[in-house]
Amino acid sequence: MRLTEKRIAAALRQHGYKLTPQRRVVIGAITASRGQLTPAELYRKVHQEHPNIGLTTIYRTLEILGSLELVCELHAGGSGRSYTIGTPEHHHHIICSGCGEVVDFSGYDISPLEERLTRETGFEIEGHLLEFTGRCQRCRQNA
Amino acid sequence: MRLTEKRIAAALRQHGYKLTPQRRVVIGAITASRGQLTPAELYRKVHQEHPNIGLTTIYRTLEILGSLELVCELHAGGSGRSYTIGTPEHHHHIICSGCGEVVDFSGYDISPLEERLTRETGFEIEGHLLEFTGRCQRCRQNA
DNA sequence: GTAGGTGCAAATCGTTTGCAGTACA
DNA sequence: TGTACTGCAAACGATTTGCACCTAC
């Protein structure tokens, strides 16, 4: 399940952040997108309708949303940083190399591998990064 | 198995790249390290013994080595880009959040998950990113 | 000999910060 | 009303590029 604007707004309030019009717009743009967004792309989208919203606000909003896990940072894509909307559960992402669409999946239990690694390497595992890249159905059909 | 200097040199030649003294030094520094290295860290190491080697050369060498898969780019660590020495086989990494040491592991078959994802999402999977972060044995003992 | 490689400096890109003004709670 | 937020501009760090010189093959 993807997070809605309402839920995100509630989470912000709950953590003592103010719900400003700028943040509303940024959150709206993120939830409206079905793909990954770089800060610059998000700025472009937002700036069209709201030319007074600055890039700094985009960065600061993304930082807050990231710290509350309302958005997820993606790594598998290109070089720069990019984000996608979060979900309430732990999950992973598949990113389309054609159009940038991001699809979540969950229900994959990585802990057996973690246990094996702890046994074999002596590491105490703290976290993991698991993402796939591929071609979504639409991009495959258009090819 | 980690790649040796010799193998890397051979791979460079094979792809039509020249084996300059600067590249030898950079490759030597990478193979000598057991952890992840940012371009800046690599530069610092190299620059001590060879003050005439510039940062530009580090970047250009890393780009070539990366394109030949002789070094691997790491994502799970901090914000910036970092690299570690490659291996001939497909493998994944565990990165120590304490000291930065990188340990490879292989023998983990991710294809069942890929098939499930193709079935469920219609994506044709092209690649994946799988890394773990944790605390290595030494760092755990020192804590 | 020549194509490719190097080092420097400058340009560029993405991101962060200082500050004065503004507005949500 | 007060504190957090905003936008601008400037600062900053990392990476790339232009160019003249050099060198491995």
- At A50-95, the pLDDT tens digits run 999 999 999 999 999 999 999 999 998 767 899 999 999 999 999 9
Interface test with B, best of A79, A96, A118, A121 (most B CBs within 10 A): A121
Which chain B residues have a beta carbon less than 8 Å from that of A118? 134
pLDDT over 90, % of chain A: 92
Taking alpha carbons only, the member of B90, B133, B95 closest to residue B110 is B90
B59 in contact with nucleic chain D (CB within 7 A) = yes
What span, in angstroms and rounded, lies between the C-alpha atoms of A83 and A9?
18
A112-122, pLDDT tens digit by residue? 999 999 999 99
B111-138, pLDDT tens digit by residue? 999 999 999 999 999 999 999 999 999 9
Interface size between A and B, measured as CB pairs under 8 A:
107
Query: pLDDT value at position A58?
Result: 98
- Are B129 and A129 inside 8 Å of each other by CB? yes
Taking alpha carbons only, the member of B81, B76, B68 closest to residue B23 is B68
CATH 3.30.1490.190 in chain A, residue ranges = 89-143
CATH 1.10.10.10 in chain A, residue ranges = 1-87
| Pairing between β-strand B124-135 and β-strand B92-96 as defined by DSSP bridges | parallel
Which residues of chain A form beta strands (DSSP E)?
71-74, 82-85, 92-96, 102-105, 124-135
Topology of the domain covering B1-87: Arc Repressor Mutant, subunit A (1.10.10)
- Are A105 and B124 inside 8 Å of each other by CB? no
Query: pLDDT value at position A76?
Result: 83
What would you report as the CA-atom Rg of chain A, rounded to the nearest whole angstrom?
Answer: 17
B64 in contact with nucleic chain D (CB within 7 A) = no
Max Cα-Cα span within chain B: 55
Report residue A136 CA to chain centroid gap.
18
Assess contact for A66 and A101: CB atoms under 8 A. Answer: no
Query: pLDDT value at position B120?
Result: 96
Confidence of residue B80 (pLDDT cuts 50, 70, 90): confident
Structure tokens at A36: 């990954």
* Exposed / middle / buried, residue A139 (Cβ in 10 Å: 0-12, 13-18, 19+): middle
Query: pLDDT value at position A74?
Result: 94
Query: pLDDT value at position A141?
Result: 94
Confidence of residue A137 (pLDDT cuts 50, 70, 90): very high
When the pLDDT of each residue in chain A is averaged and rounded to a whole number, the result is 94
Confidence of residue B1 (pLDDT cuts 50, 70, 90): confident
Assess contact for A137 and B125: CB atoms under 8 A. Answer: no
pLDDT surpasses 90 at A11: yes
Assess contact for A75 and B75: CB atoms under 8 A. Answer: yes
Which chain A residues have a beta carbon less than 8 Å from that of B125? 94, 132-134
Query: pLDDT value at position B2?
Result: 82
Query: pLDDT value at position B143?
Result: 79
Buried b (16+ CB within 10 A) or exposed e, A83-118: bbbbeeeebbbbbbbeebbbbbbeeeeeeebbeebe
Query: pLDDT value at position B93?
Result: 96
B23-63, pLDDT tens digit by residue? 999 999 999 998 999 999 999 999 999 999 999 999 999 99
pLDDT surpasses 80 at B78: no
Given the candidates 3.40.50.2300, 3.30.1490.190, 3.30.310.50, 3.40.50.300, the CATH classification of the domain at B89-143 is 3.30.1490.190
Query: pLDDT value at position B136?
Result: 96
Confidence of residue A143 (pLDDT cuts 50, 70, 90): confident
* Amino acid letter for position B34: R
* Amino acid letter for position A14: Q
pLDDT surpasses 80 at B79: no
In the complex, which nucleotide's C1' lies nearest to the CA atom of residue A21? C24
Query: pLDDT value at position A1?
Result: 75
Separation of B71 CA and C5 C1' (Å)? 20
The residue whose CA lies nearest the C1' of nucleotide C3 is B18
- Are A122 and B140 inside 8 Å of each other by CB? yes
Q: How many Cα atoms sit within 13 Å of B81 on the Cβ side?
A: 15
pLDDT over 90, % of chain B: 91
